[in-house]
Amino acid sequence: MVETNEKDSFSGEDETIPLIDYSMLVSADPFLQSQAVEDLARACLHFGFFSVTNHTVPDTVIKGVIDRLFEFFDLPEDEKLKYDTKDPRDLIRWGKGNLNQVSREFIKVAVRPTFHCPPNPPGLSESLREYSTKVREMGIELLGGISRALGLEQHYIERKMKLESGYDFFTANDYPSRKNSENRIGQFAHTDPSLLILIIQNVSGGLQVQHNGKWLNVNLKPNWIFVNVADHLEILTNGKYKSALHRVVVNNEVRRVTLPLFLGPSLDTVVTPAPEFTDDGHPPAYLGMTYKQYLEYNQFHVINGKSCLNQIRL
Ligand SMILES: O=C(O)CCC(=O)C(=O)O
Ligand SMILES: [Fe+2]
């Protein structure tokens, strides 16, 4: 759903976004844990997004990967053009937004079950591998908390979505500062495939999420991680949790680099509304298909970031 007047109004509101204290979720104290699960339940049900604080991804690891990404985007264009492919099955893909409307450069890499990364700049691959391992651990814990928030056992989503062989990919996005861009759009409004999207960035600002028909600015403290519910959690829960509609505005004083991890089911998992979320009054509201089919059906949107969710609603 792209708003027709989207190009004309980019302002967002500064409302409070739900905040999850990760140290409570993984605490040995059952009371703190259940508080965090309640917070997750509220955030997923009423918002579809939240920020995470007190997580276990070290600042040095975050800084390392962000620094290497700046170096990647600063490489000569010839080096990046190697990954300029139209085939969505390619596991490393680079591209630039339509310069008439959108200011964005990106690279997409599949990191699981097999790890892919450009060899240049030196150190990118090591940083990304370390970062993805840490972020994935956190994502699996969050999905455990979300399983519990749904009244199910901790490993429900992990087992059902076969996450031991889950297909995860990163997109790194590079947006110019506002004064270096004629365009105001980094990405049009969209939702994304996968279960959860976990985003780090060098600087806050630019990302907006829709809530109750309003665009909210995602204002984060420097070491917070932002999380969106994505399409496959909406499908699995038969629409109880909604995939968060979000967009990116180019309004920062400085150049902004972001790194979302799309934590997904295994490619062969058929994702359909689970029986726990369907009954006579709530028949399955989405067409089931494998994650691989969805990514392909998504018209190569593994790369474009758009989603085909609207087309599979029954
Ligand atoms: O760059 C951002 O803030 C969000 C990125 C995003 O939505 C995407 O890559 O799908
Ligand atoms: Fe997105």
Give CA–CA dist 163/159, Å, rounded: 7
Instruction: Check residue 7 and give its pLDDT.
Output: 52
Phi then psi for residue 291, to 5 deg, are -60, -40
DSSP-derived letter for residue 180 is G
Pocket of ligand 1 (CB under 6 A): 171, 173, 187, 192, 199, 206-207, 246, 248, 258, 260, 305
The two tokens of residue 253 are 């004083």
DSSP 313: B
Gyration radius (Cα) of the chain, Å: 19
Closest ligand, as measured to the CA of 102:
1
Q: List the structure tokens of 134.
A: 């840490």
Of the residues 245, 246, 250, 295, which should be mutated to test ligand 1's pocket, given the most ligand atoms within 8 Å of the CB?
A: 246
State the pLDDT at residue 237: 98
User: Could you tell me if residue 83 is left (phi over 0), alpha (psi between -120 and 50 degrees) or otherwise beta?
Assistant: alpha
pLDDT tens per residue, range 165-187: 999 999 999 999 999 998 899 99
Nearest ligand (C-alpha, residue 207): 1
Question: For residue 314, how far is its CA from the centre of ligand 1 (angstroms)?
Answer: 27
User: Considering the entire predicted model, what is its pTM?
Assistant: 0.95
- Looking at the DSSP assignment, which residues form a beta bridge with residue 289? 271
Q: Name the nearest CA neighbour of 199 among 172, 181, 221.
A: 172
Q: Evaluate whether 150 touches 240 at the Cβ level (below 8 Å).
A: yes
Distance CA 240, CA 277 (A): 8
Q: Edge-to-edge strand order for the sheet containing 207-211?
A: 185-190, 246-249, 207-211, 214-217
Q: What pLDDT is attached to residue 304?
A: 44
Ligand 2 centroid–CA 236 distance in Å is 19
Q: Which residues of the chain are modeled with pLDDT < 70?
A: 1-8, 299-307
Nearest-5° Cα angle at 73, 82 to 247: 105
User: What is the pLDDT at residue 303?
Assistant: 39
Q: Which atom of ligand 1 is found nearest the CA of 256?
A: 1
Strand blocks (E) in the chain:
19-21, 49-53, 92-96, 105-112, 168-175, 185-190, 196-201, 207-211, 214-217, 225-229, 246-249, 256-263, 270-271, 289-290
- pLDDT for position 298: 74
User: For 184, phi and psi rounded to 5 degrees?
Assistant: -105, -5
Burial label for 260, CB within 10 Å (0-12, 13-18, 19+), is buried
Q: Is 211 helix (H, G, I), strand (E, B) or coil?
A: strand
Question: Residue 61's pLDDT is what?
Answer: 96
Distance of CA 69 to the CA centre of its chain: 17
Q: Ligand 1: which of 102, 109, 170, 171 to mutate, most ligand atoms within 8 Å of CB?
A: 171
Phi, psi of 116 (to 5 degrees): -130, 145
Task: Report the separation in Å between the CA atom of 276 and the middle of ligand 1, taken as the mean of its atom positions.
Answer: 31
Name the DSSP class of 60: H
The pLDDT assigned to 306 comes to: 53
Residues forming a β-bridge with 151: none
**Shortest-distance Cα residue to atom 8 of ligand 1:** 305
pLDDT of residue 6: 59
Q: Per-domain residue ranges for the chain?
A: 19-311
Give me the phi and psi of 17, to 5 degrees please.
Answer: -105, 140
Question: Among 2.60.120.330, 1.10.3720.10, 3.40.50.2000, 3.40.50.150, what is the CATH number of 19-311?
Answer: 2.60.120.330
For residue 243, the 8-state DSSP code is P
